[in-house]
Structure 1
Amino acid sequence: MSDRPVLSEPVTLDTPVQRGESVIAFVQIRKPGAGELRGLSLVDLGQLKVDALLKILPRITVPSLTEAEAANLEPADLLACGAEVGGFLLQKSQRMDVLAQ
């Protein structure tokens, strides 16, 4: 098993995040470890509940978004990031079933 973190494909943000002089136009989502899920409900994450996504995204985005930046994402961008998070919650066999459809 590789020690490298599993990263999603880049999620291009419809509305980039402005951070000082720099602009974050895309993020990648890192597969969360059990410790990063602490204090969160897997059911809430699986249902893409906003509160759960706003807590997990700062922990697993590359580059790391702050809580305030995550809270200010456009709804479409939050959903796109949430879809990547949801994909990481599925077992490999379930992901294959989804891809086969």
Structure 2
Amino acid sequence: MTVTITHKEVTLDQPIARGKESVTKVTLRKPKAGELRGLSLSDLLNLDVNAISTLLPRISTPMITKDEVLTMDPADLVQIGGEISNFLVPKKLQMDSQSESDSQASLSA
């Protein structure tokens, strides 16, 4: 049985300043097809900054603006981009990748 993940919480290494407050965690929601309009899936899978900065305001809570994405710490951008990529990969490929990782881990143990 496979569980479909539709939300993922990301803790930022460098919080995003908003006035006197700061955003330390962002919840990402798996995008629907319409939220991907105007974007190339290959750009998202390649962690293209412009693609991520367009999609992130559509799927983040609290909403991260395009300007905030462009000033984000690179490590946080990569972490968020990786989670977005995970949403786009079919379950079958995720399971195959997990099985391969488990096999490699048992061989090195």
Structure index of larger Rg? 2
Counterparts of 2:96 and 2:71 in 1: how far apart (Å)? 33
Correspondence for 1:92: 91
Counterparts of 1:90 and 1:38 in 2: how far apart (Å)? 17
SS of corresponding position for 1:97: helix
Provide TM-score, normalisation by structure 1: 0.89
> Displacement, 1:46?
1.0
Q: How does 1:50-69 map to 2 (within 5 A)?
A: 50-69=49-68
Correspondence for 1:6: 6
Which sections of structure 2, spanning at least 5 residues, go unmatched?
102-109
> Displacement, 1:83?
0.3
What value does the CA root-mean-square deviation take over the aligned residues? 1.3
SS of corresponding position for 2:86: helix
Which sections of structure 1, spanning at least 5 residues, go unmatched?
none
The question of whether the paired residues in 1 share the 8 Å contact of 2:6 and 2:87 is answered with no
> Displacement, 1:99?
2.1
The number of aligned residues is 96
The question of whether the paired residues in 1 share the 8 Å contact of 2:10 and 2:27 is answered with yes
Counterparts of 2:94 and 2:7 in 1: how far apart (Å)? 15
Structure ranking higher in helix proportion: 2
Identity %: 45
The question of whether the paired residues in 1 share the 8 Å contact of 2:57 and 2:63 is answered with yes
1:53-77 CA distance string (max 9 Å, x none): 1111111111110111111110000
Provide TM-score, normalisation by structure 2: 0.83
